[in-house]
Amino acid sequence: MTTMHQEHPTHEHSHGADCGHTPVQHGDHVDYAHDGHLHREHSGHWDECEPAGHAEHAAHAHAHGPDCGHESVQHGDHVDYLHDGHRHAQHDGHVDEH
């Protein structure tokens, strides 16, 4: 799945271990959950880290929800769940990779 390059031009601070935002491992980098968005540092600026397109996570063994045991992160108009190094979101009866 490809990640769009969308610069976040009004980012007023740097994220890091002590910034207070939830870190999310995302492939080869770390995103930070901030105001319903996921931000990543890229070439000296901050990007919105959003997947391009719709990627279903096949063969997902359980449904995510408030009591599933996985950490949740607000992501726009829905909640992602951190699971095995991925962000999962329930969508139309299946789970998407975010």
pTM score: 0.61
* Domain definitions of the chain by residue range: 6-97
Q: Which two tokens stand for residue 24?
A: 């999310």
Q: Give residues with Cβ within 8 angstroms of 36, minimum separation 6.
A: 74, 75, 76
Average pLDDT, the chain: 76
pLDDT at position 2 over 50: no
pLDDT at position 13 over 80: no
**What is the tens place of the pLDDT at every residue in 26-73?**
778 888 887 777 788 877 777 777 666 667 777 777 778 889 888 888
**Predicted pLDDT of residue 54:** 62
